[in-house]
Amino acid sequence: MKEKQISKAVIKRLPRYRRYLKDLQKKGIEKISSKDLSKLIGYTASQIRQDLNNFGGFGQQGYGYSVANLHDEIGGILGLDKEYKMAIVGYGRLGRAIASYIANNEPKFNIVGIFDVKQIIQDVEDVEFKDAQIMTCKSLSSFVKSEHIDIAVITVPAEKAQLVADTVADAGIKGIWNLTAVDLDLPEGIAVENVHMSDSLHALAYYMQGTEN
């Protein structure tokens, strides 16, 4: 199913397609044309057809797309038909917010370990992730190895981020979800996805300039 050279821009759009298709499913809508999908999502119909053709295309001429089928197919392309074991590294405010978000919204991503410095984890009263162990960062490397952790979610302060990344990379991590303010330097073969909050806020500031007066 998956082909080698799908552009990053297309990949970035796939979760968005899936999100809209999920909403349509909830509303009981069974099929949709690329034109109606276009109105909803805001990409052109030709863009949508082109994107989905990267993966073989799922629409039928004159019928449109089956909402459920397309949702599941995109999920499969993204790898959301599998389960992932996650470690949260950094359990301050952002770490807790992200952990809570994942636990409540992302059933395929299982938080099995939570790591922080001693002072923080001693302070954690509300362990709502019953299956997760809470440990200091000293155990991070051995835990990633022994538990075959797939994804490390890094929410430590910026100056610690590379050290954590090196540690999990050496321990055989497959993917890193980086929510710190810095970019990470990692060996080939480890997937990384960044959420740079400030970059997004600064882009907003730019867009606002057109709105003034």
Q: Which residues bind its own copies (CB under 8 A)?
A: 2, 11-12, 14-16, 18-19, 42, 77-80, 82, 84, 92-94, 96-98, 100-102, 105-106, 108-109, 150-151, 174-177, 181-183, 189-212
Give the residue with the Cβ less far from its own copies, 30 or 199: 199
SS3 category, 1:
coil
Q: How far is the CB of 90 from its own copies (least distance, A)?
A: 11
Min CB(45)–its own copies separation in Å: 18
Three-state DSSP at 166 gives helix
Q: To the nearest whole angstrom, how small is the minimum distance from the Cβ of residue 42 to its own copies?
A: 8
Nearer to its own copies, 44 or 139 (CB): 44
Backbone angles phi, psi at 200, to 5 degrees: -65, -45
**What is the amino acid identity at position 135?**
M
What H or E segment, with its residue span, contains residue 76?
helix 67-78
Q: Judge whether 92 and 39 are in contact, CB under 8 Å.
A: no
- Taking the complex as a whole, the smallest distance from the CB of residue 5 to its own copies amounts, in Å, to 11
DSSP 8-state secondary structure symbol assigned to residue 86:
E
Map residue 111 onto helix, strand or coil.
strand
Which residues does residue 134 pair with via DSSP β-bridges, in sequence order?
A: 114
Shortest CB 93 distance to its own copies, Å = 4
The rounded distance, in Å, linking the Cα atoms of 90 and 67 is: 38
For its own copies, give the closer residue by CB, 12 or 138: 12
Which CB sits closer to its own copies, 14 or 67?
14
Q: Which CB, 132 or 151, lies closer to its own copies? A: 151
- Minimal distance, residue 118 CB to its own copies, in Å: 21
Nearer to its own copies, 23 or 60 (CB): 23
Largest CA distance in the chain: 62
- Please state, in angstroms and rounded to a whole number, the distance separating the CA atoms of residues 85 and 159: 25
How many CB atoms sit inside 10 A of residue 86's CB? 23
